[in-house]
Amino acid sequence: MSPAVFEAIMLVCFGLSWPISVYKSIKSRSTKGKSVVFLFAIIIGYLSGITGKVVGHVTGEKEINFVLVLYIINLLVVSTDVVLYFINRKREKAEEAKNK
């Protein structure tokens, strides 16, 4: 079996959790339980994986395969969660100011 298959399995397993996280961010309208630092660390990881695939292709070491698509999908979903984090944070600050 190709190593790309195992990389894809890992990305699918991680990727399953992100839509749930986005859903919870939308539903709760809260930043509670979220760490923007953690989300940015995940984004850096996905960007590194994408860069590794592209650089490997450019240098002729590796072919770009379907795994790149999984990195991009996961990156987009986590980025959506980051945007929701800042929207919810702004909402929370506005509510705090209104209650003071």
Residue 40 domain-assigned (yes or no): yes
Identify whether 47 is part of a domain. Answer: yes
Q: Look at 7-11, 14-18, 61-65, 94-98 and tell me which has the smallest mean pLDDT.
A: 61-65
Please tell me the predicted confidence (pLDDT) of residue 60.
Answer: 81
* Ramachandran angles phi, psi of 15, nearest 5°: -65, -25
Domain with 92 in it: 34-100
55: in domain: yes
Which pLDDT value is given to residue 81? 97
What digits encode the pLDDT tens for the residues 14-61?
Answer: 899 999 999 999 999 999 999 999 999 999 999 999 999 999 888 888
CA distance to 11, 38, 41, 79, 87, per residue, from 90 (Å): 31, 19, 22, 17, 5
63 located within any domain? yes
Residue 75 domain-assigned?
A: yes
Q: How many domains does the chain have?
A: 1
In a domain, 64, yes or no: yes
Question: Cα(57)–Cα(38) distance, rounded to whole angstroms?
Answer: 29
52 falls within a domain: yes
Domain assignment present for 7: no
